[in-house]
């Protein structure tokens, strides 16, 4: 049960390890990505120059990106609008409605998309429950908001269990 819902299909150190070339090998045409601690630190208001380049590289290769965040409209809008990146706020991940909306807005099929995030309990669980290819990234910052701190405690237990059972093939 843990493996089915909480084990990501892939694990990478950061978003920059996800390249258009690797995505195209899997026939990926769309990315549904979390914002806070996936793309930038949870308290950083805007994208870094390197992240802007990553978005541009995806666009040049025809890969669409939509930010799907549980955060409020103001936070997500202030980050996304200057970049011209579509977004969904108050997504209520791991529920599936926001993932479906993102796929529809990109005019793609679920099979053409990946879900990228830093949390097992929202991004990976939501993506896995709804049949997406999931990619877990190491959180950008070592600090979190209050709710996320609680989630991280649960995640550590889940990861520990998955590791004991031999399901995790990567280093911490």
158: pLDDT confidence band, cut at 50, 70 and 90? confident
DSSP string covering 69-136, please? Answer: -SS-HHHHHHHHGGGT--EE-S--TTSSHHHHHHHHHTT--GGGEEEEES-IIIIIHHHHHTT-EEEE
Q: What's 2-164's CATH class?
A: alpha beta
Q: In the 8-state DSSP scheme, what is residue 42?
A: T
Q: Of the candidates 161, 94, 151, which has an alpha carbon nearest to the alpha carbon of residue 126?
A: 94
Q: What value does the mean pLDDT take over residues 121-129?
A: 96
**Separation between Cα atoms, residue 108 and residue 103, nearest integer Å:** 5
The owner of tokens 């990315």 is 31
Give pTM, 2 decimals: 0.90
pLDDT over 70 percentage in the chain? 94
Q: Could you give the 3-state DSSP secondary structure of residue 64?
A: strand
Residues 65 and 28 sit within 8 Å (Cβ to Cβ): no
Domain residue extents for the chain: 2-164
Residues 120 and 97 sit within 8 Å (Cβ to Cβ): no
Residues found in the chain: 172
More confident residue, 18 or 142: 18
């Amino acid at each position: 049960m843990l493996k089915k819902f909480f084990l990501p299909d892939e694990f990478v150190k950061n978003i920059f390890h996800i390249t258009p070339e690797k995505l195209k090998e899997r026939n990926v045409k769309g990315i549904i990505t979390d914002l806070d601690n996936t793309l930038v630190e949870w308290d950083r208001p805007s994208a870094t120059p390197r992240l802007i380049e990553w978005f541009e590289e995806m666009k040049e290769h025809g890969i669409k990106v939509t930010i799907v965040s549980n955060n409020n409209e103001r936070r997500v809008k202030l980050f996304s609008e200057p970049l011209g990146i579509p977004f969904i706020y108050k997504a209520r991940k791991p529920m599936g409605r926001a993932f479906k909306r993102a796929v529809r807005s990109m005019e793609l099929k679920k099979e053409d998309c990946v879900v990228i995030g830093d949390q097992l309990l929202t991004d990976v669980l939501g993506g896995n429950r709804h049949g997406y290819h999931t990619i877990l990234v190491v959180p950008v910052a070592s600090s979190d908001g209050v709710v996320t701190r609680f989630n991280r405690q649960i995640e550590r237990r889940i990861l520990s269990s998955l590791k004991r059972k031999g399901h995790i093939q990567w280093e911490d």
